[in-house]
Amino acid sequence: MKMLVTGGAGFIGSHIVDALLEKGHEVAIIDNMVTGQKENINPTATFYEIDIRDKEVQAIFAKEKFDVVFHQAAQLDVRKSVSDPGYDADVNIIGTLNLLQACKETGVKQFIFASSGGAMYGEQVHFPADEEHPCWPSSPYGVTKLTCERYIYYYGLSYGLKYKLMRYANVYGPRQNAHGEAGVVAIFTERLLRGEQPVINGDGLQTRDFVYVHDVVRANVLAMEHAESDYFNVGTGIETNVNEVFTGLNEATGAGKEEKHAEAKIGEQMRSVLSYEKAKARLGWEPQVTLQQGLVETVDYFRKKS
Q: Cα dihedral angle (170, 123, 77, 251), rounded to 10 degrees?
A: -40
Residue 212 designated active-site:
no
138-175 CB burial, b ≥16 within 10 A, e <16: bbbbbbbbbbbbeebeebbeeeebbbbbbbbbbbbbbb
> Burial, 188: exposed, middle or buried (Cβ in 10 Å; 0-12, 13-18, 19+)?
buried
Task: Please choose, from the candidates 272, 279, 281, the residue with its C-alpha nearest in 3D space to the C-alpha of residue 207.
Answer: 272
Q: Give the separation between CA 32 and CA 73, rounded to whole angstroms.
A: 9
Q: Which one of the listed residues 48, 121, 141, 231 is annotated catalytic?
A: 141
CB atoms within 10 A of CB 282: 14
User: How many whole angstroms separate alpha carbon 265 and alpha carbon 115?
Assistant: 22
Q: What is the spatial distance between Cα 241 and Cα 30, in angstroms, rounded to a whole number? A: 35
Assess contact for 93 and 149: CB atoms under 8 A. Answer: no
Helices (H) and strands (E) in the chain, counts: 12, 13
Residue-wise DSSP of 60-124: HHHHH--SEEEE------HHHHHH-HHHHHIIIIIHHHHHHHHHHHHT--EEEEEEEHHHHH-S-
**Do residues 16 and 71 touch, judged by C-beta distance below 8 A?**
no
Q: Which residues are catalytically annotated?
A: 141
